[in-house]
Amino acid sequence: MSVVPVVFNNTVLRDGHQSLAATRMSTSQIATVAPELDTVGFGALETWGGATIDSGLRFLSEFPFDRLDAVKRLAPKTPHVMLLRGQNIVQYTNFPDDVVEAFVAASARHGMDIFRVFDALNDLRNIETAVKAVKKAGKHAQGVICYTTSPVHTPEMLIDLGTHIEAMGCDSICIKDMAGLLPPHVAFQIVRGLKTRVKIPVVVHTHETAGFGAAAYYAAIEAGVDSVDTSISPFANGTGQPDTWRMLQALSGHPRRPNYDLGKLSHLRDQLTGIYAELAAFTSPKNEVVDNDVLIYQVPGGMLSNFRNQLKEQKMGDRFVEVMREMPYVRECLGWIPLVTPTSQIVGVQAMLNVKFGRWKNFSPEAMKIALGYYGKTPGPINPEVLALAEKLGGKPRFTGRPADMLEPRMPKLRAELAQKGLPADDEHCVIYAMFPQELEKLYKARDGKAAAPAAAPAMAAASPPEVKAPAPAALTIPGTSKKISQLALTIDGRRHEVSVEELA
């Protein structure tokens, strides 16, 4: 039987610069390398989703679907893949089904081929609407297993999750190791288990944050994985994906080594080195090295370095170790949730509050929502005392249904609101406005010459000093309550988070 070479997908146009340059690669910079990337023969190019939509609007004055159109024209031959946060789309909260469906349909119309759909809790109910919409659009639905470690996240549990992803109708499965925690032997075990139990292709995605990436890929390839995600230096390694050239060399002599043109890869690296230099304000040497702390705290590398600065702004810089040690405790209390956007930020903020005020003396509403089931079913049980406190403050028992079932359709309202503002009211603008209303309005004001174009944020990358402000109190609480609670605005990984807290008596 012939040996099938493993396929490399390339992430440099999305996760590569998101992980190492604060998602600041512009469409004009992408244009210098996308045509040649399209000729290498990668299985897919990751070009959209994740933070690219937010960052493009906020800092680069780009309408997201315009970028997708442009990149698709620049690289028409290779399939394009995007990262989609299920019911969160590319934001940090749940959206109604009609908004999710409209976003997927619009993305498909503009040329997206593969939708990599994940949920932060691995609650498959939170990806089913998106998966159905992808299939309805005639595109490739890739269901995701968010990899993490805990007493409940055994290889057997994750393999079983993969069988349910296949049963949903997904076309492939991605093991998404967002923090770079996947040891080689576990990669082998999970991939081998999936390959014996499912018929659809299996992909592995990891980061080199802890130095495991290339070795985990090698083990996965030995176990029969169909494809892996690589990037191209200098937008590779460290908090990014393993470098394509290095991965090819690691497979030297291996029967499954793919045959990619090393000359093209070398030329692309030269071009990307120039772009990396142009983005120097958003890069940091701290993101380019192996970080052992990620193995202790399981915090994604970009957030880890950023959180150090966040604590300094809170005058808690000397309590970094205390806060990091508190994160596993908070995570356990909240049902051993994986740490990936938005759960990593939620757990980090609650850990900070616990250290500053005492455990659960300030219960952030987002952490409370997790305890009360508004984000979905947690992998493990909620700590009984924490759940009792959340139910007392929220005034309701834990919700066990699908979170999106609580949400009313929004597309007609969005259309009417945009029309009233004199803005385009097509589906593309409705879905972007649903997630980023202020940013979309600023973009059009800038285009109309009514305001200055959005300026690039100060140098922050993943290790930049975050913004910390104390806005006036506002009424943002758990659904079903009307308590007024104070807010704290934080910027983590270049994204502003308004954290609402109430100090208990």
User: What is the Cα–Cα distance from 51 to 84, expressed in whole angstroms?
Assistant: 10
Q: Return the pLDDT at 448.
A: 81
Rounded to whole angstroms, how far apart are CA atoms 34 and 13?
8
pLDDT over 70 at 489, yes or no: no
Amino acid at position 50, single letter: G
Instruction: Report the CATH number of the 7-285 domain.
Output: 3.20.20.70
pLDDT score, position 444? 94
Per-chain mean pLDDT for the chain: 89
d(CA 246, CA 226): 19
**CA end-to-end distance (rounded Å), the chain:** 70
pLDDT at 69: 98
Instruction: Specify the higher pLDDT residue, 297 or 483.
Output: 297
pLDDT in tens, 362-420: 999 999 999 999 999 999 999 999 999 999 999 999 999 999 999 999 999 999 999 99
pLDDT higher for 341 or 355?
A: 355
pLDDT above 90 coverage of the chain, percent: 80
Quote the pLDDT of residue 299. Answer: 79
The strand pairing partners of 82, in sequence order, are 48, 115
Higher-pLDDT residue of 218, 488 = 218
DSSP state of 88: G
Residue 494 pLDDT exceeds 70: no
Residue 52 tokens, joined = 């690219």
Look up tokens 């409209």; give the residue: 102
| CA dihedral sign, ordered 48, 194, 159, 156 | negative
Render pLDDT for 232-256 as a digit per residue (tens, 0 to 9).
999 999 999 999 999 999 999 999 9
pLDDT of 254-271, one tens digit each? 999 999 999 999 999 999
| Alpha carbon 125 to its chain's center | 18
pLDDT given at position 1: 61
Judged against a pLDDT cut of 70, whether residue 51 lies above it is answered with: yes
Least confident of 11-15, 196-200, 240-244, 480-484: 480-484
What confidence score (pLDDT) does residue 483 get?
A: 45
pLDDT of amino acid 403: 96
Q: Which CATH architecture has domain 292-405?
A: Orthogonal Bundle (1.10)
Higher pLDDT, 184 or 315: 184
Strand boundaries in 392-494, DSSP class E? 468-469, 486-492
Domain spans, the chain = 7-285, 292-405
Question: Which band of pLDDT confidence, cut at 50, 70 and 90, is reported for residue 486?
Answer: very low
Q: Which is higher by pLDDT, 467 or 85?
A: 85
pLDDT of 339 strictly over 60: yes
